[in-house]
Structure formats: C-alpha cells, structure tokens
C-alpha cells in the first residue's frame, strides 16, 4: 500500500530574477567606484603646498630645482640645460635607483618645470617626485 505524504512535494528551483538584480547592483557599484577613482588620480594644480603629502626619506636622492626666473639648480649649484642633463646622466650611471625630487618655485612658469621634467626623463630617471610644502608648516619660512 502506498501512502502519500501530507506535505506537498515541490522540486527545488533556482530563481534567475533575484540573481540578475544582484548582478546589476554589483555592476553599478563597481562602475561608481571606478568613476570616483578617476578623480582621485588627478594632479593637484597648487603644487607649492599640500595637505596630504607623504614624507619620504632623503638618503640617496637628487634635488633639481627651478626658481621663479626659470634657472635650473642641481642640488644647490646653478646649471644650464646641457649641464643639468650631463650631471643627471653621470649620476644615473652610478646610481640608477636614486630618487629625484623636483622642486618648482610657486611663481615659476609651468613651462620651466615641465622642461626640467623632460631633462630628468631624458637622463634615464622616470620616477620623479614633486616636492611640495606641507600645509602644517604654513607660515614657517622655507629653505632658500
């Protein structure tokens, strides 16, 4: 004798509609996150001062500076375009992993700083840090 169960027997089903809803939600979330990251990667225009800069150690580093008149300085020595390129190439031969810090005066033309960056890249250095003044040190006279 066959006795049926009082509980109705249903087959298991996988619902696709909630799965599609979750996938659209995840897609929209990832799109919003990726769009917001584009804005965070932008370079700040006001380079002379910054609030959230990382302090880096300056053990083995090179300093290239541009003053407001467009003169270039390697460490503290004033040099021309060709001399700057030659010095950077000499140092690159002995220390290719040295850090290069580019300092631009607040009143210098952007063209002069960009030209100094081109000279640094022509010498073989491709990782260049822009040195800025921290907002916490505002009002403290900087080195000249």
Q: What is the predicted pLDDT for the residue at 51?
A: 55
Residue 89's alpha-carbon distances to 62, 122, 130, in angstroms, are 12, 9, 20
Percent of the chain with pLDDT over 90: 8
63 CB burial (10 A radius; 0-12, 13-18, 19+):
middle
Three-point CA angle 81, 92, 144, nearest 5°: 55
CA nearest 48: which of 110, 99, 127? 110
Task: Return d(Cα 47, Cα 42) in angstroms, integer.
Answer: 12
Predicted confidence band of residue 53 (pLDDT cuts 50, 70, 90): low
What is the fold of 58-134? Nucleotidyltransferase; domain 5 (3.30.420)
84 CB burial (10 A radius; 0-12, 13-18, 19+):
buried
Count the Cβ atoms, other than its own, within 10 Å of residue 124: 12
pTM recorded for the entire structure: 0.53
């Amino acid at each position: 004798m066959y006795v049926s169960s009082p509980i109705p027997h249903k087959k298991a089903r996988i619902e696709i509609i909630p799965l599609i809803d979750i996938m659209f939600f995840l897609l929209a979330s990832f799109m919003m996150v990726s769009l917001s990251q584009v804005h965070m990667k932008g370079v700040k225009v006001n380079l002379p001062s910054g609030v959230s800069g990382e302090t880096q150690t300056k053990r083995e580093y090179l300093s290239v500076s541009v003053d407001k008149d467009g003169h270039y300085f390697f460490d503290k020595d004033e040099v021309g375009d060709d001399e700057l390129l030659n010095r950077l190439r000499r140092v690159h031969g002995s220390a290719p992993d040295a850090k290069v810090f580019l300092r631009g005066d607040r009143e210098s033309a952007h063209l002069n700083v960009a030209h100094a960056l081109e000279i640094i890249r022509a010498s073989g250095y491709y990782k260049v840090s822009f040195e800025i003044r921290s907002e916490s040190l505002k009002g403290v006279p900087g080195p000249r």
